[in-house]
Structure 1
Amino acid sequence: MTELGLSRYLQRIDYQGTLTADLPSLSGLVARHTQSIPFENLNAFMSLPVDLSADSVMNKLVVEGRGGYCYEQNALFRDVLMSLGFEVIGLAARVRWGVPPEVQTPASHMLLILTLSDVKYLVDVGFGVTTPSVPLRLDSRDVQVTAHGNYKITEEQGYYELAFEQSRGWQTLYQFNLEPKQDADYKVFNWYVSTHPDSVFVRNLVAARIAGQYRYTLRNREFKRYQGGELLDVTTLTTPEQVIVCLRKQFNINAPEALRSKLAALFDDSLAKAG
């Protein structure tokens, strides 16, 4: 990442701290990134390309003020960390969040592992509703308490599992090993999740953001607000315009004009099924 690109990124997330390759700087960057750059899949939902080139990701998430999903979010954050001298690699995880035990899932979610003074940290700024707002110690088997919920990492024979605590108990987010992935791997994963008709990101509008002590999520017509692992309230949006306003006010996303026609079809389908 160029010096100008880093400067624009730091302005985008309103980062005010010092910048050295240490844990306080890492923690500050994770906190500001997750509060400032929303998780969203508008391009895939609108059948538009999701370009993972460094220039395209920088332009979309930083210059245009949009958001993105895991490949965009974590690729951008990886480039920022590397430019600051952090030792970081990209991995792939099998998402288990909301997936029945008998259903197989591919290793398609991008996450980062960062090493500081021989200690490895899991860093993931792109998991949407349960994105960790702090680095998580990979070697700890204790509950890792954060301002936005509690996490736990377990390991068995080189395979790791990240879980999140909810009122109904611990829910697995994803499973992974420490085999590094290349950008070519993410390119293949990205093609599937952004174009395949069975992909959740093609079939649904999704957005998420951390705002102060709360988490906000939007899935199609439902806007939800969480505190920690607890759901506080649900608002059902009744018109495409309400979705546009929600994206702008709650997620700081100025939606492309093309989204309106896609939302009209979404609401038509919802009404038809309700009838």
Structure 2
Amino acid sequence: MTATTLLQSDFHDRAQWETSPLDLDAYLVRIDYRGSLAPTLEALRDLQRAHLEAVPFENLEIATGGEIRLDLESLQDKLVRRRRGGYCHEQNTLFGTVLDRLGFVVEGRSARILMGDAADKVTPLGHTILNVTVAGGQWLVDVGVGNVGPREPISLEEGIEARHGRWEYRLERSPLGYWLLRHRRHDGWFNLYQFSDEPYYRADFEEQNYLVSHHPASPFVRRIVAQHNGAEMRLALTDLELKVFRPGEAPELHRIDADALPQVLRERFGLVLAPEQETALLRRAKSLAEMSSEGEQLGT
């Protein structure tokens, strides 16, 4: 290997993925994956499904006064060893690193979240996604968009519709010229996000991560969030409300008592917090319950 090749390899590792410190065996145990590790489309599908089954989407580190860090050691400690979840910057950075180690050609991308907004609306960049080249084509891969995201890779082809079990997705071109990902809900097609083909790197994700985890207007600063992207049922916890989604049906809404929140997180999302974090979360949940009660009294 020449000096130039070594420098190029080192730049790629620093700029995109930190593959060398990855404990691949521990990650595979975390997601309970025993399938093929060959860089094939079938393995990519299986890995994505396994990751989504095992690792929930959540912001509880922020909600309890902690920090979100994207270096690989922090990601492995939180998502693998402590069996926690995370949001897009954490989950897709870890998953991209795993795919890179396995020999997939994987690049980062950044998307503009819409979540129902019109496709001609310019929203800020801020959602980390992955572009994987495999089986002679390029594929959108995303394990970090909560309970509404795709469970399998989606081929980057305009107008393609993909069925992941009973969940349906469509990839189009938006009026702004971006790729537009849409999800079919019980009430029709729902715009998730739009993105370009421009590569993004860990440095970009670090900046976006800092903003979304500190800005007072960020939903991850303002809310308690936990979600799960299941094969047959999907869950979305926001503060003290839990929504249950099934394909083609309107969501069920359940209100949660503040004291029951840690139990809901354990039983429905597999999330167990450290004692000091649970105490901080309960304090915040009880404050939310008090504000809600006061609002109801003022409204009567």
TM-score, normalising length: structure 2? 0.86
Shift of 1:247: 0.6
Larger displacement relative to structure 2 (219-228 or 81-90):
219-228
Structure 1 residues 82, 214: closer, same or farther in 2, change over 3 A?
same
State the match for 2:216 in structure 1.
Answer: 197
Range moving further from structure 2, 161-170 or 41-50: 41-50
1:102–1:151 distance in 2 versus 1, CA, 3 Å:
closer
Aligned partner (choices 41, 53, 66) of residue 23 of structure 1: 41
Mapped pair 1:82 → 2:82:
no
Q: Which residue of 2 aligns with 1:42?
A: 60
TM-superposed CA distance for 1:58, in Å, is 0.9
Compare 24-33 and 99-108 and name the one that shifted more.
99-108
**AA matched with 1:86:** F
Residues 118-267 of structure 1: pairs in structure 2 closer than 5 A: 118-155=136-173, 159-237=178-256, 239-255=257-273, 256-257=277-278, 258-267=280-289
**Which residue of the other structure, out of 119, 129, 135, is the alignment partner of 1:117?**
135
Partner Cα separation in structure 1 for residue 213 and residue 248 of structure 2: 28
Mark the runs of 5 or more structure 1 residues left unpaired by the alignment: none
User: Alpha-carbon deviation of 1:98?
Assistant: 3.7
- Tell me if the contact between 1:147 and 1:228 (Cα under 8 Å) persists in the aligned partners: no
- Cα RMSD for the two superposed structures: 1.8
Q: Describe the superposition over 1:95-123 as per-residue Cα deviations: whole angstroms up to 9, x where unpaired.
A: 00044678642111000010013301100
Question: Could you list the per-position Cα deviations for residues 56-77 of structure 1 after superposition, in whole angstroms to 9, with x for gaps in the alignment?
Answer: 0111000000000000000000
**C-alpha displacement of 1:243:** 1.4
1:140 CA displacement: 5.0
CA pair 251-183 structure 1, distance change in 2 beyond 3 A: same
Give 1:45 shift. 2.1
Letter matched to residue 265 of structure 1: S
| Aligned residues between the structures | 274
What displacement does 1:230 show? Answer: 2.6
Matches of 1:75 and 1:4 in 2, distance apart? 12
Structure having the higher strand fraction is 1
Query: C-alpha distance in 2, partners of 1:92/1:195?
Result: 19
Larger of the two Rg values belongs to structure: 2
**In structure 2, do the counterparts of structure 1 residues 217 and 229 end up closer, same or farther at CA, with 3 Å as the change threshold?**
farther
Aligned residues with identical type, % of pairs: 35
Q: For residues 71 and 234 of structure 1, do their structure 2 counterparts lie closer, same or farther at Cα, with a shift above 3 Å needed?
A: same
Judged with a 3 Å threshold, the aligned counterparts in structure 2 of structure 1 residues 97 and 186 are, in CA distance, closer, same or farther, namely: same
CA contact (8 A) 1:151 1:162 kept: yes
For 1:82 and 1:20, how far apart are their aligned partners in 2?
12
Moved more, 202-211 or 169-178: 202-211
Task: Provide closer, same or farther for how the CA distance between residues 265 and 17 of structure 1 changes in structure 2, counting only shifts above 3 A.
Answer: same
Give me the whole-angstrom Cα distance separating, in 1, the residues matched to 2:230 and 2:163.
Answer: 18
Shift in CA distance, 262/148, structure 1 to aligned 2, threshold 3 Å:
farther
8 Å contact 2:240–2:285 — kept in the other structure? no
Secondary structure, counterpart of 2:250 in structure 1: strand
The answer to whether the 8 Å contact 2:139/2:153 transfers is yes
- 3-state secondary structure, aligned to 1:230: coil
Question: Structure 1 4/77 Cα, relative in aligned 2: closer, same or farther at 3 Å?
Answer: closer
